[in-house]
Amino acid sequence: MTRGLFVTLEGGDGVGKTTQAELLREWLTGQGREVVRTREPGGSDVGLEIRELVLHHRGDISPRAEALLYAADRAHHVATVVRPALERGAVVIQDRYLDSSVAYQGAGRVLDPGEVRRLSEWATEGLLPDLTILLDLDPAAARGRLDAARTRYDRLEAEAAEFHGRVREAYLDLAEAEPERFLVVDAARPVDELARDIRSRIAALL
């Protein structure tokens, strides 16, 4: 059985993950590959309900409850969308996956990062991406992009600058720990240069 390719995009809010995911989708589709573009939270029907809750609930959600909500979204998404697509041989291009939980709920919310990771591994029966693209950007620059583009912030985007600084450091540590899984790109560079670097890494995997 051919197995597809599982590619995730990670990074802080406003670093340009969606733009790069879309460019990658166009390029792969042009090569005749089946591409499934998806995201967490909210990549399934159940996930859309969890997304609304976890991102827009008014009032506090305790850190462990938040971690479990993201893990629940992930469990259903992997079981109903991601695994079936990979089994068909598709390329799955996904905005955010378990590294988001480790970075945001682990470093950001100060839960134990190892426990947060094990929770996601349990939720997904151990599915890891073939490649994770980390778009690295100074949180202040990312915030400038978000301010220009939006009026409504979700619960995590509204966190203090210090929180986003911890998230960035956590991502860089994750990439350093698993260099074969991660491609780290400087998201301050021009969009087309980033897209070219990403394509050449993917081409080597196909």
Q: Which residues bind ligand TYD (CB under 6 A)?
A: 13, 17, 39-41, 55, 70, 95-96, 100-101, 104-105, 154, 156-157
- For residue 46, the tally of other CB atoms under 10 A from its CB is 15
Q: How far is the CB of 4 from ligand TYD (least distance, A)?
A: 21
Instruction: Give the nearest distance from C-beta 2 to ligand TYD in angstroms.
Output: 28
Minimum CB separation from ligand TYD for residue 203, in Å?
25
Closest CA to 187 of 6, 17, 37, 8: 17
**Judged by CB, which is closer to ligand TYD: 95, or 136?**
95
Residue entry with tokens 């394509």: 199
Question: Between residues 35 and 167, which has the closer beta carbon with respect to ligand TYD?
Answer: 167
Residues 117, 96: Cα–Cα separation, whole Å: 14
Q: Is-contact 164 12, C-beta < 8 A?
A: yes
Could you give the CA distance from residue 3 to residue 90 in angstroms, rounded to a whole number? 8
CB-wise, 17 or 131, nearer to ligand TYD?
17
Whole-angstrom CA distances from 175 to 63, 91, 183, 198 are 24, 22, 8, 15
Structural tokens at position 196: 């070219």
Residue, CB closest to ligand TYD: 104
Smallest distance from ligand TYD to CB 28, Å: 20
Q: Which is nearer to ligand TYD, 154 or 197 (CB)?
A: 154
Q: What is the closest distance, in whole angstroms, from the C-beta atom of residue 47 to ligand TYD in the complex?
A: 10
Nearer to ligand TYD, 40 or 136 (CB): 40
